[in-house]
Structure 1
């Protein structure tokens, strides 16, 4: 008696039209109005995917665009381990639902972008086959003309000409099926204009001392990070930007750490990476002593407390005397006495 009973399903079963099946699942279909995702039966009933892969594909399809769906990110969100999630992602990738591509970013980093397609079969388009020349339809064969026999003494009656049997025109044969249908991407290539890189910062005055210090700092990078070995032309190009950092009182160790910290795994052009970081990570000038001083607060004049000469109550007034009540009480009496 203490077990809670769910009577909603029982009432819904009584409202289903038609006879119910004696065995198997019975569906109670309630239309969704919000927070739903359309999933095709080609995924939900896929015979080549495991249940984990199907569930993971449904969860990925329901996530908003831009959500991280790497192996570690999914393992931190779901109870399954990294090995099981990696195997499910490989299944989805093998059947065309998932694709992972390595992309080079403008700042020199290399990232892996994951693309999920909810219906990979729609991306398959057969290559337009060359139209085969139609076979010329052979006209119905006419019977050979009757051979004229030599004129006998009595002309024999000619046999009646029989009409040839009507033959149906042969239907054109369908083109031979292709063995392999190529992948044709329906997503057009990006057409947005690429933003130009930011210009390198320049110092207000490139002195000989600044140029020497900037050149020494760039040439010394390969001692701390061998992957940042620069050529002489790269050093000459980047030296004014480093001088702009030094002009803003940036310490050489700070500049070295900002330029060489956390490089991409595949660093092909170190000069391009340094050019981007010198332009985008430029620190602002150090503030002066006057800028760091606290602003002066405006002086507020506070009216002091006074003790009333009549009732000895405290009240605020610039000079000693009587409070407001005493002035109102004794003021008319003193005027009448005078």
Structure 2
């Protein structure tokens, strides 16, 4: 009689992700699910937070440094991700002035956005670091059958040392000297309407180059003569746009003041050169309509001589 054999059905894994985990013993970073599964943070912000938390203390995390380290992401995308992390409490950037007077950005990365958890962790660290006070050992009780020893006076315990507060950071004194006045905004020699209109259109289009360069209508009306002054000095719109959007500080807190500063300090020479170095413009002769070089319109040399020539004497 033949014996029947049951054939086992092959195991079919359920649908969904399967994890194959290897225990890390070096070069790893612990990240909470509150960050990796954050419902409001973008994937770029989560990945950037993980990258920053994996860096050693003191590593540079500026926008240009991160863009060079992460070439797959643009500077604009990295700036947006940093702003997301600041809004949700994973990052804090503050401007700090050094004792030498230089201003730099101090960046603090938090692995947990809950301020209460951060305060608790700081309190525990502070408690563990508190110095211990040396106390004398307690005397052992004497046996019941032995005579009572002569009481020995207990030396007074040393007073507890008050906990020393950390030394405050040195404060930078406020400047006492008056700052020099700002140089005036450049003005065009001939403020033609079409020139001012082209300057206003260039200022409106700056936000297409960088999302932080947003100007109000009043600011555009004020800054348009400065751009027109660049146009009069033979600066192309591309050159003006590059001068206003290249190497911007992050974040751009006052875009109108930044544009005004760059229009003033980077003004090209052009018409500001001495008269000896400027070419004499071309003019059309009023008499013969030929082209000639002269500082002002009028007649050419031949027409000028013909107009001032003496008429011949006629004897009648």
TM-score of the superposed pair, with normalisation by structure 1 = 0.33
* Larger relative contact order (Cα-Cα within 8 Å, sequence gap ≥ 6): 1
Larger Rg: 1
